[in-house]
A and B are shown apart, each in its own frame.
Chain A
C-alpha cells in the first residue's frame, strides 16, 4: 500500500514522456503495470468495505468448498468421505418422503435418499459447470474481443457480426438447441453454456480494448517495436480485465441458473448424479405432501446465485469510478 503519491508518479510520467527516448517508453509501460497493482488494491479495499459484497464472497467460497469436497470425494474416494460423517447421496436406504428431522435435516426424497447429502453433492455440478463454462467463454470471448478491438477493420467486422448473430438467440434457447444436438451430459452442458456466453465477453472486451488501444503505453509499446501479439495480450488485455471480471462473476450467477434450468427440464446432467435443478424437478410432483424435496435444493440455487450476484455488484461498484463519485455527494 506504500506506493508513491499520485502527484509524484504523474509528474514522473509526463517528464519521461516528454523525454521521448526508448528508455522512457519502458518506464511508461512499467508505470502502467504498477498503476494496475495500485488499482487492484484500491478495488479490494472498496470491495471489503462493502458488507453485502463480502457476505456474497463468503457464500460463494462456502459453495465452492462444498463443490470441491464433493468432487474430490466422488472422484477419488468413491463417496467414502461423506459416508464416514453422513449418509451416501446415492443409496436409497431410508423411508421415502420423510419430513425434516434431526436425523435428516432436509428430509428424504421419493426413493428414500437423504436430501441434505444430495444437496451437498449437487454443488459439484453447479460449480463445475458455472466455473468451467464461464472460464471457457471468457478466454475465447475476451481473446476475440480484444483482437477485434485492437485490429479493427475486417477482423473486427467479422467478429462483431458473428457476435450479433449469437446475441440474436435467447441464451437458454440456444443452449437447449446445442444440448439437443450434442446430447445430455456434463461436458456437453459446459460446451453449450461456454458457447452461449462467448459473445457477452467479446462485446465487452472489444469496447474496452478500443479505448485502451489509444492509451500512451500502447503507443509506447508499438514505438518500441513489440510484436502485435505481445501488445494485444501483454499490454491491452491486462488493462481490460476489470469489466471482464465483473461480467464473469455476474455470468456465473446466470450459468448456475441456466445449468439448473437444463437439469430441471431433464436436458442436463443425467441421474444418478445429483444436480439441484433435477432435485427440484423430482420433488415437483410431491409439492403438497413433501415440499422439502424441491424447497431445499431450490434454496441452495437461490443462495448461490445471490452470492455470485453480490460479488459481481460489489466488484462493479469498487471498479466503477462514476458510481464512487456519486456516492460522495
Chain B
C-alpha cells in the first residue's frame, strides 16, 4: 500500500470535515425565531431572555459562536439538548449502535444479493436471468423504501407472522433474536442499495469479461468458472467498492426513514424527533455526526481501493 497516498487522502478529509461543520452551523443558525425564546416560552421576561442569551454566548459574533461550538465538538461536547435533560453526545452515543447495526446488516443483505446477481447477469448477458436482474434492479431503485417496509410488515409480520416487525434487540444481549428483528428493516434499507450494486457489478463484469487477460486465462485451459471468479470478478469488484462507498450516504438516508417504520431507536428517530421539537442543538449534532460518518466511510473505501489496486496513485 502506498503510504503517501493514504496520508494525503487523510489530510484531504480535514477541509471537507471543516466545511461540513460550517455548513451545519450556518443551516441551524439560519433557523427563524430566537432559540432562547423557543426555550423559555413566550411568557419569558426580557431580563430572563437577555440573561440566557448571555449565558449561551448568543450575543457574540457568529464566527465566535462557531469557534466556541467547534472547539467543544473537537473535545466531544456537542452541546445540551433543549428538550431532553441530556447532552447531545450522550444521546447520540445511545442511538448510534442501533443505526450502525442496521446499516451493516443492510449492507450484508445487499451484497449477498447484488454481487451474485450482477455476476450471473453479466456472464449470461441477454438471458432470462440477465433480464430478471435488470428489471429487479430497476424495481429496487424505484420502490420507495417506506412503502416497501410497510408491505414487508403487512406480509411477513402481520399476515404470516414469520418475522417480528422490527424493534431493536441488541446483538450483544441476544444475537439470534437480534438477527430476526433486524431482517425486515435490513431488507427494506438494503433493496435500493442492492439494486445499485448489482447494476455496477454487471457493468464492470461486462467490461472485464472481454479483456485480454480473461481470454488469456481461458486459453490456458482454466475453467470459465475459475476465470470469472478468480480473475474477472476480482478486477470487477474495484469499481463496485467505490460505488458501495459513495452510495453509503444513500444507506444512511434510508435508515433515517426506515427507522421510523420499524420503531428502531437509532439516529434517524433521534433526528426526526429533534426536528419536530425544534431541538436545534440535537439536530445540529446528529446531522454533523452522520455527515462525518459518511466522509469517514468514503475515506475507508478509498484506502481499501488503494490497497486492492496498486495502480492507484495520488491525484
With a cutoff of 8 Å between Cβ atoms, the chain A residues found around residue B19 in the complex are 161-162, 164-165, 168
> Which single member of A168, A183, A295, A306 contacts B32 (CB below 8 Å)?
A183
> Which single member of A277, A281, A288, A306 contacts B138 (CB below 8 Å)?
A306
Whether B257 sits at the interface, judged by CB under 8 Å, is: yes
A177/B158 contact (C-beta < 8 A), A161-B19, A277-B146 known:
no
A interface footprint on B284-315 (CB within 8 Å = 1, 0 otherwise): 00010011001100000000000000000000
A interface footprint on B228-261 (CB within 8 Å = 1, 0 otherwise): 0000000000000000000001101110110011
**Chain B residue with the shortest CB-CB distance to A260:** B144
* Interface residue SS majority, chain B: helix
* Interface residue SS majority, chain A: helix
With a cutoff of 8 Å between Cβ atoms, the chain A residues found around residue B32 in the complex are 183
Q: When the two chains form their complex, are residues B150 and A280 in contact, meaning their CB atoms are under 8 A apart? A: yes
In angstroms, Cα B141 to Cα A280, docked, is 18
Whether B100 sits at the interface, judged by CB under 8 Å, is: no
Q: When the two chains form their complex, are residues A284 and B271 in contact, meaning their CB atoms are under 8 A apart? A: no
A169/B294 contact (C-beta < 8 A), A298-B147, A298-B150, A302-B147 known:
yes
In angstroms, Cα B146 to Cα A287, docked, is 13
Q: When the two chains form their complex, are residues B146 and A168 in contact, meaning their CB atoms are under 8 A apart? A: no
Q: When the two chains form their complex, are residues A264 and B257 in contact, meaning their CB atoms are under 8 A apart? A: yes
Whether A313 sits at the interface, judged by CB under 8 Å, is: yes
Residues 122-149 of B at the A interface (beta carbon under 8 Å): 138-139, 141-147
Whether A178 sits at the interface, judged by CB under 8 Å, is: yes
In angstroms, Cα B28 to Cα A288, docked, is 40
Q: When the two chains form their complex, are residues A165 and B256 in contact, meaning their CB atoms are under 8 A apart? A: no
A284/B150 contact (C-beta < 8 A), A168-B295, A171-B253 known:
yes
In the complex, how many angstroms separate the beta carbon of B123 from the nearest chain A beta carbon? 15
A-B contact count (CB 8 A): 143
Q: When the two chains form their complex, are residues A165 and B294 in contact, meaning their CB atoms are under 8 A apart? A: no
Q: When the two chains form their complex, are residues A181 and B28 in contact, meaning their CB atoms are under 8 A apart? A: yes
Q: When the two chains form their complex, are residues B146 and A309 in contact, meaning their CB atoms are under 8 A apart? A: no
A interface footprint on B3-31 (CB within 8 Å = 1, 0 otherwise): 00000000000011101101110011011
Q: When the two chains form their complex, are residues B143 and A302 in contact, meaning their CB atoms are under 8 A apart? A: yes
In the complex, how many angstroms separate the beta carbon of A161 from the nearest chain B beta carbon? 7
With a cutoff of 8 Å between Cβ atoms, the chain A residues found around residue B146 in the complex are 260-261, 264, 277, 280-281, 298
Q: When the two chains form their complex, are residues A173 and B150 in contact, meaning their CB atoms are under 8 A apart? A: no
Q: When the two chains form their complex, are residues A173 and B256 in contact, meaning their CB atoms are under 8 A apart? A: yes
In angstroms, Cα B275 to Cα A284, docked, is 21
With a cutoff of 8 Å between Cβ atoms, the chain A residues found around residue B24 in the complex are 177
With a cutoff of 8 Å between Cβ atoms, the chain A residues found around residue B109 in the complex are none
**Chain B residue with the shortest CB-CB distance to A250:** B141
A181/B27 contact (C-beta < 8 A), A170-B250, A266-B276 known:
yes
> Which single member of B15, B249, B271 contacts A176 (CB below 8 Å)?
B271
In the complex, how many angstroms separate the beta carbon of B156 from the nearest chain A beta carbon? 12
Whether B272 sits at the interface, judged by CB under 8 Å, is: yes
Residues 255-308 of A at the B interface (beta carbon under 8 Å): 257, 260-261, 264-267, 277, 280-281, 284, 287-288, 291, 294-295, 298-299, 301-302, 305-306
In angstroms, Cα B268 to Cα A261, docked, is 12
In angstroms, Cα B148 to Cα A257, docked, is 12
B interface footprint on A162-193 (CB within 8 Å = 1, 0 otherwise): 10111011111110111111110000000000
Q: When the two chains form their complex, are residues B291 and A168 in contact, meaning their CB atoms are under 8 A apart? A: yes
Residues of A in contact (CB 8 Å), total 47
Whether A28 sits at the interface, judged by CB under 8 Å, is: no
Q: When the two chains form their complex, are residues A169 and B20 in contact, meaning their CB atoms are under 8 A apart? A: yes
In angstroms, Cα B272 to Cα A287, docked, is 22
A168/B294 contact (C-beta < 8 A), A181-B27, A181-B30, A267-B275 known:
yes
**Chain A residue with the shortest CB-CB distance to B15:** A161
Whether A205 sits at the interface, judged by CB under 8 Å, is: no
In angstroms, Cα B144 to Cα A281, docked, is 12
Q: When the two chains form their complex, are residues A170 and B253 in contact, meaning their CB atoms are under 8 A apart? A: yes
**Chain A residue with the shortest CB-CB distance to B247:** A170
A168/B20 contact (C-beta < 8 A), A261-B257, A291-B154 known:
yes
> Which single member of A165, A180, A264, A280 contacts B275 (CB below 8 Å)?
A180
A interface footprint on B201-213 (CB within 8 Å = 1, 0 otherwise): 0000010000000
Q: When the two chains form their complex, are residues A177 and B28 in contact, meaning their CB atoms are under 8 A apart? A: yes
Q: When the two chains form their complex, are residues B23 and A165 in contact, meaning their CB atoms are under 8 A apart? A: yes
Whether B78 sits at the interface, judged by CB under 8 Å, is: no
In angstroms, Cα B19 to Cα A281, docked, is 35
Whether A125 sits at the interface, judged by CB under 8 Å, is: no
In the complex, how many angstroms separate the beta carbon of B254 from the nearest chain A beta carbon? 8
With a cutoff of 8 Å between Cβ atoms, the chain B residues found around residue A130 in the complex are none
Whether A253 sits at the interface, judged by CB under 8 Å, is: yes
With a cutoff of 8 Å between Cβ atoms, the chain A residues found around residue B119 in the complex are none
With a cutoff of 8 Å between Cβ atoms, the chain B residues found around residue A280 in the complex are 144, 146-147, 150
Q: When the two chains form their complex, are residues B253 and A180 in contact, meaning their CB atoms are under 8 A apart? A: no
Whether A143 sits at the interface, judged by CB under 8 Å, is: no
> Which single member of A168, A180, A288 contacts B31 (CB below 8 Å)?
A180
A-B contact pairs, 17 of them (CB 8 A): A168-B19, A168-B294, A170-B294, A172-B254, A172-B256, A173-B253, A176-B272, A177-B27, A177-B287, A253-B141, A260-B146, A261-B253, A264-B260, A265-B256, A302-B144, A302-B147, A309-B138
Known: A177-B24, A253-B141, A264-B146. 11 other contacts (CB 8 A): A165-B20, A165-B22, A169-B287, A173-B253, A173-B291, A177-B287, A257-B144, A261-B145, A284-B261, A305-B144, A309-B141
